[in-house]
């Protein structure tokens, strides 16, 4: 249950009963739309893909590899992780749209989705 005081001020929209005694806290964003819940959820999904140390290192390895292509066996060893764990992390980043997966023969090659990290970064800078 929310408290009453601030709610009334908000409901009426402007500063009617509040005199100079109040420093006008709890006056929310002027009706402007904030991030919708659905967009926030989608964005959070992509940041969640970056919110793990091992996934960041995977990205680092993939992006610095020779042809910008890496297979699972290249990752498990330097990260000290089991192969199923690496596959799991890769899947998360593929589903987040950060990595491409291409299967050639027995191997699966992973590469950065061009511009994916850039567009994510663009959502962070306030300028528009």
Partner DNA sequence: TCGAAACATCGATGTTCGTCGATATCTAGT
Partner DNA sequence: ACTAGATATCGACGAACATCGATGTTTCGA
Binding site for DNA (CB under 7 A): 3, 5-6, 10, 14, 21, 25-26, 48, 51-52, 54-55, 71-73, 80-92, 101, 103, 105-108
Q: How many residues bind a second copy (CB under 8 A)?
A: 55
**Angle in degrees, 0-180, between the axes of helices 72-79 and 53-64, rounded to the nearest 10:** 130
| CA 57/CA 55 separation, integer angstroms | 5
Residue 81 or 94: the one with the smaller Cβ distance to a second copy is: 81
Residue 41 as a binder of a second copy (CB under 8 A): the answer is yes
Question: Taking CB under 8 A as the rule, which mask of x and - marks residues 66-105 in contact with a second copy?
Answer: x----x-xx-xxx-------------------------xx
DSSP percent split of the chain into helix, strand, coil, nearest 5: 50, 10, 40
Instruction: Please report the beta strands in 5-127, taking only residues with DSSP state E, as ranges in sequence order.
Output: 70-71, 99-104, 107-112
- Which of these segments, 13-21, 24-32, 86-94, binds a second copy (CB under 8 A)? 24-32
Q: Is the dihedral of CA 97, 117, 42, 90 positive or negative?
A: positive
Residue 19 or 127: the one with the smaller Cβ distance to DNA is: 19
Question: Which DSSP letter does residue 80 get?
Answer: T
| CA 13/CA 94 separation, integer angstroms | 45
Phi, psi dihedral angles at 65 (to 5 degrees)? -75, 165
Interface ranges with a second copy (CB under 8 A): 2-3, 6-7, 9-10, 23, 25-30, 32, 34-35, 37, 40-41, 43-44, 47-48, 50-57, 60-61, 63-66, 71, 73-74, 76-78, 104-105, 107, 112, 117-118, 120-122, 124-126
């Amino acid at each position: 249950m929310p408290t009453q005081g601030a709610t009334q001020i908000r409901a009426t929209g402007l500063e009617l009963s509040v005199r100079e005694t109040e420093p006008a806290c709890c006056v929310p964003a002027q009706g402007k739309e904030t991030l919708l819940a659905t967009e926030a959820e989608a964005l959070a999904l992509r940041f969640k893909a970056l919110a793990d140390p091992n996934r960041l290192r995977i990205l680092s390895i993939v992006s610095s590899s020779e042809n910008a292509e890496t297979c699972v066996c290249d990752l498990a060893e330097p990260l000290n992780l089991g192969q199923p764990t690496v596959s799991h992390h890769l899947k998360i980043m593929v589903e987040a749209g950060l990595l491409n997966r291409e299967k050639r023969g027995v191997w699966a090659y992973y590469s950065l989705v061009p511009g994916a990290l850039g567009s994510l970064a663009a959502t962070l800078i306030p300028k528009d």
